[in-house]
């Protein structure tokens, strides 16, 4: 089924709300205009920003800047969810909102999406700590995941320069309670810490503006987990088809760490993709079209005719 994206198509968004116990979670949906659907995608955000700045970022003059718009034009219904403590979702509980909490959020979101839209298992994409949340969710609920894409993922943390630097600052983060402040300079540091120049300044500015409209602080839990508790997922228990995506210059994990994780994935339907010219926050990079291409190929891969 050939569904090329059309730059002229406008994709309308719709807000949704669901509950995780007494916690309200915000979901954002963009439905495909095509009558023949290719599937339903759930996008899972990272540690330092809510979902819509990451996956529905609108930058004039940057074609298909919004991943949700792009994949909706390709025939997918697209969803994202603000984890507890982020964006429009509840921030009332004084808890660190760790990776396990985020996996619970993914479970609540998936239950709502599958019930509301009467759709089958979801195509799940997570980035950075969102990849850890998504992986833990897939480990717990494989029946809800058709295919799993893990971008800017880290397994044990061995050999990660980003986490080595983060551990030095951990006492300051923890001293501040369960949330840490963010500002424009912090957002710029995401793009400058590994390999400056991988993203356009106007895109970083738009990203920062979108993030800071929703949050001036974010939960500390994923940082604590990634600095002190890795590994938090077991690759041998992730049984769904899985794609590991690694930016060429991403310092969140070493190649060796990711390859060891990849080798242990039990499903033979698995891929490892290196994205050239990309560091962290891949969808905001100059080479974001490569990210889309890799993800689209994985999400549209045909089922094997022979499994042996």
Domains contained in the chain, CATH given: 13-299 (3.40.50.1820)
Residue 5 has pLDDT above 50, yes or no: no
pTM for the whole structure: 0.97
Mean pLDDT score of the chain: 96
pLDDT of the residue at 1: 38
Q: Would you say the C-alpha torsion 252, 256, 259, 261 has a positive or negative sign?
A: negative
Q: Using the predicted structure, report yes or no on whether residue 39 has a pLDDT greater than 60.
A: yes
Is 8 a residue whose pLDDT tops 90? no
């Amino acid at each position: 089924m050939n569904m090329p994206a059309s730059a002229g198509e406008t994709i309308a968004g719709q807000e949704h709300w669901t509950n995780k116990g007494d916690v309200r979670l915000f979901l954002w949906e963009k439905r495909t205009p095509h009558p023949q659907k290719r599937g339903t995608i759930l996008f899972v955000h990272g540690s330092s920003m809510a979902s819509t700045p990451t996956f529905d970022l609108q930058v004039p003059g940057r074609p298909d800047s919004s991943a949700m718009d792009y994949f909706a034009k390709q025939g997918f219904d697209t969803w994202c969810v603000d984890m507890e403590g982020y964006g429009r979702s509840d921030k009332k509980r004084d808890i660190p909102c760790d990776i396990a909490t985020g996996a619970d959020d993914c479970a609540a979101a998936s239950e709502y999406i599958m019930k509301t839209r009467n759709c089958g298992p979801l195509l799940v994409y997570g980035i950075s700590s969102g990849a850890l949340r998504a992986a833990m969710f897939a480990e717990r609920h494989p029946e809800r995941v058709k295919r799993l894409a893990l971008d800017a993922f880290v397994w044990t943390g061995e050999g990660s320069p980003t986490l080595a630097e983060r551990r030095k600052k951990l006492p300051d983060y923890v001293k501040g309670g369960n949330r840490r402040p963010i500002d424009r300079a912090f957002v710029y540091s995401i793009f400058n810490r590994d390999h400056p120049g991988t993203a356009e300044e106007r895109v970083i500015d738009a990203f920062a503006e979108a993030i800071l409209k929703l949050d001036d602080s974010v939960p500390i839990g994923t940082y604590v987990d990634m600095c002190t508790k890795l590994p938090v997922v077991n690759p041998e228990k992730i049984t769904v088809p899985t794609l590991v995506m690694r930016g060429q210059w991403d310092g969140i994990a070493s190649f060796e760490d990711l390859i060891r994780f990849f080798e242990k994935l039990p499903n033979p339907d698995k891929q490892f993709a290196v994205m050239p010219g990309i560091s962290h926050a891949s969808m905001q990079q100059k080479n974001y079209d490569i990210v889309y291409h890799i993800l689209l190929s994985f999400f549209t891969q045909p089922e094997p005719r022979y499994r042996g």
